[in-house]
Structure formats: structure tokens, C-alpha cells
Structure 1
Amino acid sequence: MQARQVLGGRYELRGILGRGGMAEVHDGWDRRLGRPVAVKLLYPTAEAQPDTRRRFATEARAAALVNHPHVVAVHDTGVHEGRPYIVLERLPGASMADVLARGGPMPAEHVRAILRDVLAALGAAHATGVLHRDIKPANILFTTFGGVKIADFGVAKSADSPHTLTNRVFGTMAYLPADRIAGRPATASDDLYALGVVAYEALTARRAYPQENLAALADAIGAARLTPLSALRPDIDPALRATVERAMSPDPRWRFGSAAQMRACLDPPAKRPRRAGGVLAAAAALLAVAVLAALVVVA
């Protein structure tokens, strides 16, 4: 039996959890602390590319900078035989992409709860100057207890990102607004737009823009050719529907400017209870009318 590869004399690599454009993610074991971890290891073919190495380093710094319960934690980084790696918190649950692949729309309240968690994480990231820039179902991971954490800051932008990276369009096109695809600099609003697209997909069990050809996809996003959420899920309450639609608005002036702003619109307005004083006053008035009527009858 072939011996398992160990990174840094500490992290034992096991099976492959997934592969991306510049790295593969391994199921790992931390021998020193005796706990499961996820190890993201740069491909050998990518290690010689300075731009890719910078992006990988940016991911580690950006994710470590955002210390939040709904962000996958970074435990360690290192280099093994010339290949950089990042050691991450290992979550036993599936991704949102896995759940959606099983088919069927998700319950509205479940989607609302996911949005709350992700918005809390994005609010913390944006407050530290970090933009995720690749919010999509595959990067939203479920925890053991049903909550979610955002992962993969591989194309994140932070205050110390190299200028050679900040003027390029990164991310997954299906979750980008038309003005960003056209080359506008990334903003916090783009993460919120992407989250709106994710919510639309979760609520309808269909992609907002399903075109596979990139040119056709860009055209569809630019023209906002989208089936209204109300036509697909008429059972959704107005607050959730309006939040998703506003986040995905083709007009950047109408979109949310902050995670807190989007969070404030997410829940339906609470029914205001009738004030006790008003009820008592009404009862007293009715009693007075009744007494007056009785006196008139007696007279």
C-alpha cells in the first residue's frame, strides 16, 4: 500500500474533495492536533505562473482576514516541494450546489436562513475591505447543524491585492451583473447581486441565466431576460421576493449597497400589536355609551 503524502510533516493527504482552475482540494488529517482538515494544493503546472501564485496567496490572506462564524476558517499555509498549500476548516456537509443538483426548489424559509448567514459573512468581509467576487452555490457549504459558511476566496480582492489583478474581471459569469462583465471595477454590491442570483436558483430549482455559450450568456444578462420570480414561486412572501429581485436588478443604482441594507429588507414587516392603552380606551368609551343609554331609558 502506498504511503500517504504528508505536507509540512503534519498534514496527511487522503482523498480528493474537488478540483478547481488552479488547485485541488484534499481530504486531510492534522496529525499534530488529531482533527480533519481540508488542504488546498496548487497544481504543479500552476506553480510556475506568478499570477496564479499571487492569487493563491491572496486567497489565504483574504480568508484569514475575515474571522467570522460563517466563513470557512484558514488554519495554516505552507509550501510543499515548491507547491503552495492552504489548510482549511473541514466541513462534513455538502455544498449548496450539491443540494440543488438533487432537484426541487428549496423552502422559502430555508433560503431566507441561508441568506442571513451569508449576508452576515459578507458584511464582515466587506468591513475589512475584502470582496469575495465568486459567490455561487458551490462556494456555500453546509455545516453539521444546517448553517452555512462561504468558502473559496480564490478570486477575492482586498486592500493589498496587486493592481495587476484588480483591473480584471474575475468570478463566474452567470453570477455577475452586466456592468461588471463590461469591466466596471468590483464593488461590494457585486457580491450581493451574486447572492440574489443564488437565491433565485435555490427558490426556483433553475438557473437564472442557463445559457452555456458565454456570448449568449452575456447577452442574456445584459438584456435581463429573466423569468420573474413571482411567476415561478407565487407562494413566496413579498419581502423575500423583493429582496431577491432588487439584489439582481439590472440597474446598479437600484441594487443594495451593503449587506446590512439587504439584510434589513429580507424579513416581512412584523405585525404591530394593538397597544393596550388604546384597547382600554375603546372599552371605556363603549362602557360610557352603554351607561348613558341605560340612563336615558330609565328617565
Structure 2
Amino acid sequence: MTGHDMLVDRYALHGVLGRGGMAEVREGWDTRLNRPVAIKLLHPALIAEPGVRSRFEDEARSAAQLCHQNIVTVYDFGEHHGSPFIVMERLPGQTLADVIAAGPMPAHHVRAMLDDVLAGLSAAHAAGVLHRDIKPGNILVSAPGDSMKVADFGIAKTGGAAYTMTGQIVGTMCYMSPERIAGAPASIRDDLYAVGLLGYEALLGRRLFPQDNPAALAHAIMGSTPPPVASVRADADPVLAAVIDRAIARDPAQRFGSAEQMRAALSGDRRALLDGAVPVQRPATKVLEGPPVPVTHYPPPRRRQRTAGRKYGIAAGVLGALAISVVALAMDPSSTTPAPQPVSTSTPVAPPPSVAPPPSPVVQQPAPAVEDQPGAPGGGGGHGKGNKKRG
């Protein structure tokens, strides 16, 4: 297409605003509504690429459904001579990449930038749209209040397209999470990881992973742990530093679960900052696992030993006394015949099985009434004395 080509007899194409691995963005003019626009065109070489064209179309439709103050608005989507295109709002400001190229940003500006990006992502994720390519070049600075707007929603880079263009490998991989490089599908946590990298890069004024070689870059992302933010920018407030540190954690389970949670943590909500992080860190205590400490390392106090000794002494004394009592009873003649149980003379009671049968009928005669009165003193003892005399 030439510098002044027309798309579908409506959009006039002008100069190139930027190029990426899948598409280029051209300055345009909507002749029907008389307003400036930005037009994204899929690279001609990728039109016939399996899956690339359909993904461009499907995700462009999803992006067109989004409407938020921190998202670049998609006006139209169509096809011109077999080439798909997306028409978006044209912003006069710079990209975040231009701002970072001028040097490290003040910490409070970084915080405001992250809040804008997270607000846009929160709306997109709620609509079921993942960005998949968060990077400074896709964050646009709008003129009113210098607020940030997220562009290129859903225009993801496929594995085939990314690995056929060296420049795009570097541009995309340096904001990819370790699990995405390992081949895992994109997720919300990947978008939030990239947002954390935006904050880190804005504070440093340079990329966190500066490697240009794809293999070295992938090794650095997957095998190294970024230094804490506090070690590279001491003037960053602790809340901002903690949010960025958690967002770029290598373990996706330690990152924020949603853009809304990350935004709340950025605003100072301590519960949002810590929620979900503690359970993930608990397995780290497994490094302390090992054989149990021997019991001998914790001997019982001497006090308990003396108490046990006294108990043993008392028990021995009781046993001795019992032994003596048994011997004495064995030597007592009166102990050979058990004493009869006291009963009332008004009711005959058969003797228990253990009691020997009465020696003679004489013993069955009733005893004197005075001694057999129920409750009379010595009533039980009278039978004992009579048994003793008969022996």
C-alpha cells in the first residue's frame, strides 16, 4: 500500500506509527466521521500463516467489545483485499517506552502508571480477554492528565510467529513469564507478571532482562530471581516495592490472583497484598523436615525422678504391710472359718455357697431375742462369738 491508500473507501492511510512481529500500525483518517485514527494491519507474510489470521480476527472482535477509559478504543474491524485490519482511536501522546527511554521515572509516577494499566486489565479480564503482550510499547500516554491507556488487547503473538522473527523474540520474551517460555498457555497471572516488569523497568530506566540473545534471555528469565525493588530504588515506598516484588515472583502461585487484587494492594490494602501469598509460602518449611529429635535430648527433670522414687517406696511399704497381714491372718485359728453374715431371724436365709454346711441341727435353733434384734449393738458379733466357742 502507498502512503495515501484507502481502506474500504473510508480510511485514508498515512505514515507508519510503529511495527511489531505480527502487524504494523499506520496513522489514518476516518473520512466518514472526520477524525484521526490508528490502523493496525497484519503483515502480508502472515496472512496465509496457519492460525495467525484467525487469531488476529477472533481477538480483534474481543478487543472491540472493551470500553474503558484506560483501554484504547477499537472503532472498527474489517478486511481489505484479503488483508484484515483494526481501526483504533488515535492518541497524540507517547508510549511508555518513550517515557522510560528518557530515564527512570519518579516512584509516584510509576505507581500512577501501574494503577492505570491495572484498571484497564481488570475490565478486560472481567470480559474474558487476556492481553498476552503487555510491554511499554503497548502502553500509550494520553494527553489529558498524562493517564495511561493499554493498546493491542488480544493481539497475541503465536509461538510460530514469535520464533520466526528474531526481533520479536526479544521484544516479546523479555516480558514473558517463566511458565510461558516453558510452553504453558497464557493466563491472568502472565499479564500481571508483565505489569510488574513494567513497574520494575520504569524504576530502573532499563529492562530487567537486557539480554538480546533469545537463548540467554530465556535462561535468565527462567533461572534467575530479580533483586528486590528496595535494593535498586531505595526511594520507592515499601508498598510499591512489595507489589512489584510479588507480581514478578517466579512461582505463579505467589503472584496476585487478579488485576483488581493487585490494584487494591497498590492502594495500600494490606490484606490484598498478603492474601493468597502465605499459603503458597508454607511449603517452604519442608526444608526443616528430618529425623525427629531423640527423646534423650530432653531428659525429665530431677524433681519428677524423686517423685517417682517416693511413689515406688510407698508402694513397696504397702506391699510389705499386706504381706505381714496375710501371714498374721494365716496364723490366727479364728480366721479359718469365715464369720457368718448378720441376718434377721424373722426371715430364713439360705447360707451362701462359700459357707460350710452347719455341723449340727442344734446351731439352727434361734438365738436369744436380745442378740438377734435388728440394729442391736454387737448383733453381728454374737454369731462370731458362738462360732468361736464351738470351735
Structures share a fold, TM > 0.5?
A: yes
Q: Which residue of 1 aligns with 2:124?
A: 125
Alignment map for 1:89-100 (pairs within 5 Å): 89-100=89-100
Distance change (3 Å), C-alpha of 1:126 and 1:231: same
**Quick check: 56-65 or 86-95, which moved more?**
56-65
Q: Which amino acid counterpart does residue 122 of structure 1 have in structure 2?
A: L
Q: Helix, strand or coil: the match of 1:172?
A: helix
Q: Which amino acid counterpart does residue 43 of structure 2 have in structure 1?
A: Y
Q: Helix, strand or coil: the match of 2:68?
A: coil
Deviations 1:179-237 (A, max 9, x none): 22112222111100100001000011121111111111121112224233212110111
Post-superposition shift, 1:130?
1.0
Q: Helix, strand or coil: the match of 1:265?
A: helix
Deviations 1:136-193 (A, max 9, x none): 1011000011011111135449xxxx9x99xxxx982111221221122221111001
Deviations 1:36-92 (A, max 9, x none): 001112222222224221122033112112221111111111211221111111011
Deviations 1:241-260 (A, max 9, x none): 00000000112221001011
Return the structure number with greater relative CO, CA threshold 8 A, min gap 6.
1
Q: Which residue of 1 aligns with 2:112?
A: 113
Q: Name the CA distance, whole Å, in 1 between partners of 2:255 and 2:4.
A: 49
Does the 8 A contact of 1:59 with 1:152 survive in 2? no
Distance change (3 Å), C-alpha of 1:56 and 1:100: same
Q: Which amino acid counterpart does residue 46 of structure 2 have in structure 1?
A: A
Moved over 4 A (4+): none
Q: Name the CA distance, whole Å, in 2 between partners of 1:185 and 1:43.
A: 24
Q: Which amino acid counterpart does residue 195 of structure 1 have in structure 2?
A: V
Q: Which residue of 2 aligns with 1:180?
A: 180
Q: Helix, strand or coil: the match of 1:253?
A: helix
Q: Which residue of 2 aligns with 1:289?
A: none
Does the 8 A contact of 2:101 with 2:206 survive in 1? no
Q: Name the CA distance, whole Å, in 2 between partners of 1:82 and 1:184.
A: 32
Count of paired positions: 259
- TM-score of the superposed pair, with normalisation by structure 2: 0.62
Deviations 1:5-34 (A, max 9, x none): 111111011111111222221110111111
Q: Which residue of 2 aligns with 1:282?
A: none
Q: Which residue of 2 aligns with 1:219?
A: 219
- Given the alignment of the two structures, is residue 48 of structure 1 paired with residue 48 of structure 2, yes or no? yes
Q: Name the CA distance, whole Å, in 1 between partners of 2:11 and 2:35.
A: 10
Q: Which amino acid counterpart does residue 118 of structure 1 have in structure 2?
A: V
Q: Which residue of 1 aligns with 2:193?
A: 193
- Given the alignment of the two structures, is residue 9 of structure 1 paired with residue 9 of structure 2, yes or no? yes
Consecutive unaligned residues in structure 2, runs of 5 or more = 162-168, 271-391
Q: Which amino acid counterpart does residue 105 of structure 2 have in structure 1?
A: M
Alignment map for 1:55-74 (pairs within 5 Å): 55-74=55-74
Percent of aligned pairs with the same amino acid? 56
- TM-score of the superposed pair, with normalisation by structure 1: 0.81
Distance change (3 Å), C-alpha of 1:45 and 1:219: closer
Q: Which residue of 1 aligns with 2:28?
A: 28
Higher helix share: 2
Q: Which amino acid counterpart does residue 64 of structure 1 have in structure 2?
A: A
Does the 8 A contact of 2:225 with 2:250 survive in 1? no
Does the 8 A contact of 1:68 with 1:124 survive in 2? yes
Post-superposition shift, 1:262?
0.5
Alignment map for 1:205-244 (pairs within 5 Å): 205-244=205-244
Q: Which residue of 2 aligns with 1:82?
A: 82
Q: Name the CA distance, whole Å, in 2 between partners of 1:200 and 1:186.
A: 21
**How much is the aligned-residue C-alpha RMSD, in angstroms?**
2.3
Does the 8 A contact of 1:111 with 1:199 survive in 2? yes
Q: Name the CA distance, whole Å, in 1 between partners of 2:28 and 2:193.
A: 34
Q: Which residue of 1 aligns with 2:363?
A: none
Q: Name the CA distance, whole Å, in 2 between partners of 1:127 and 1:109.
A: 27
Does the 8 A contact of 2:122 with 2:260 survive in 1? yes
